[in-house]
Amino acid sequence: MSAATAFRSIAKVVANREMSEGMGARVRRSIGTAEVRRLDPFLLLDHFTIRPPAGFPDHPHRGFETVTYVLKGAVEHEDFAGHRGRIGPGDLQWMTAGRGIVHAEMPAVQEESVGLQLWINLPADQKMCEPAYQEMLDAEVPRASPFGEDGGAEVKVIAGEQFGVHSRVRTRTPILYVDVKLDAGKELVHTIPESYNGLVYVLDGKGEFGSKGTQSTRYHTLLLSHDGGRMQVKAADDTPLHYLLIAGEPLNEPVAQYGPFVMSDEEGIATTMLDYQTNSNGFERARKWRSGIADRH
């Protein structure tokens, strides 16, 4: 059996417990913990819950991209360049922080808002690119139907390609990001580029994952082995399964991180902190800027 046709197994299972983050927010962190510090090219994955006045008020970024994907409620975002918007259930925002951005992300409704934020590292030669956004409404995200018109599964292709369906998102670092809802008893086989690092995050239900049928339930992260180009998933016979499959081409570059700044070395971090403190080299507009959405809370 070739590596392309071999099946991956589950190398590690991590239970994700709630923790505090931002201003009163609660998150279940999959990447960015002592157990999973990084998964190249990914720096962080948070499953967040916010309700006013909780949220993520004005804060900076440099050197990577963030993907915010809303499952429930609505989230507003605003930055110092005048970009502002709102995303609701199924919508996503892909933000390239590049050389510098200061923004806020706050709940847009009074009830609970739930979503995920993924941080993707940028290659060293792109860390100082100009900031950019891609936004996509739920209806615009391509879907794959692996079982045809009979249903049984819905696969939202947020990034990359799956079951012959390609995402419309342009990625600087090659990744695969799919949201899968699988009916009880159904089984899927995902194709994953052999070189990619990958994980599954279980949002709801229970199922079996990988070549050894590792069982898992919601709020667990499953790290994939590196021994194949395919992965099996089977939902339990008595309940549907909802999970994310996220994988990416490793950059294999040095990483220096200080909070919301990610560069290639400590010198880059020191320069970034100075730039932020002096409102220069990408942070000029931060000097007098305050978001309107954070002030409301």
Residues ≥6 apart with Cβ < 8 Å to 169: 94, 134, 136, 158, 159
Residue with tokens 């998964």: 39
- Structure pTM? 0.95
In a domain, 258, yes or no: no
Is 105 annotated to bind ligand?
yes
Read off the tokens for 77: 């975002």
Task: Supply 248's token pair.
Answer: 């990416």
**Domain contains 169:** yes
Mean pLDDT along residues 193-199: 97
* 47 annotated as belonging to a binding site for a ligand: no
Residue pair 178/160 in contact (Cβ under 8 Å)? The answer is yes
User: Would you state the pLDDT for residue 296?
Assistant: 64
The answer to the question of residue 292 being in a domain is: no
Q: What is the tens place of the pLDDT at every residue in 35-64?
A: 999 999 999 999 999 999 999 999 999 999
30: containing domain: 10-248
Whether residue 193 is contained in a domain is answered as yes
* Residues ≥6 apart with Cβ < 8 Å to 191: 162, 229, 230
156-194 confidence digits (pLDDT tens): 999 999 999 999 999 999 999 999 999 999 999 999 999
Looking at every residue in the chain, the average pLDDT score rounds to 95
Q: Please report, for the domain that includes residue 36, its CATH number.
A: 2.60.120.10
Distance CA 55, CA 247 (A): 27
User: What span, in angstroms and rounded, lies between the C-alpha atoms of 129 and 122?
Assistant: 9
Parallel, antiparallel or unpaired: strands 175-182 and 153-159: antiparallel
- Which helix (H) or strand (E) segment holds residue 275: the answer is helix 266-277
Whether residue 1 is predicted with pLDDT greater than 60 in this model: the reply is no
DSSP for 138-175? GGGS-EE-TTGGG-SEEEEEEESEETTEE-S---SS-E
Distance from C-alpha of 224 to C-alpha of 50, rounded to nearest angstrom: 30
220 is in an annotated binding site: no
User: 4 pLDDT exceeds 90?
Assistant: no
Residue indicated by tokens 């790290």: 223
Q: Indicate whether 151 belongs to any domain.
A: yes
Pull the structure tokens for residue 55: 């949220």
Assign 23 a pLDDT band (cuts: 50, 70, 90). confident
Q: Give the integer Cα–Cα distance in Å for 71 and 48.
A: 10
59 is in an annotated binding site: yes
What pLDDT score does 150 carry? 79
**Total count of domains within the chain:** 1
The reply to whether 186 falls in a domain is: yes
**Looking at the domain assignment, is residue 270 inside a domain?**
no
Question: Is 297 a member of any domain?
Answer: no
Question: 3-class DSSP state for residue 209?
Answer: strand
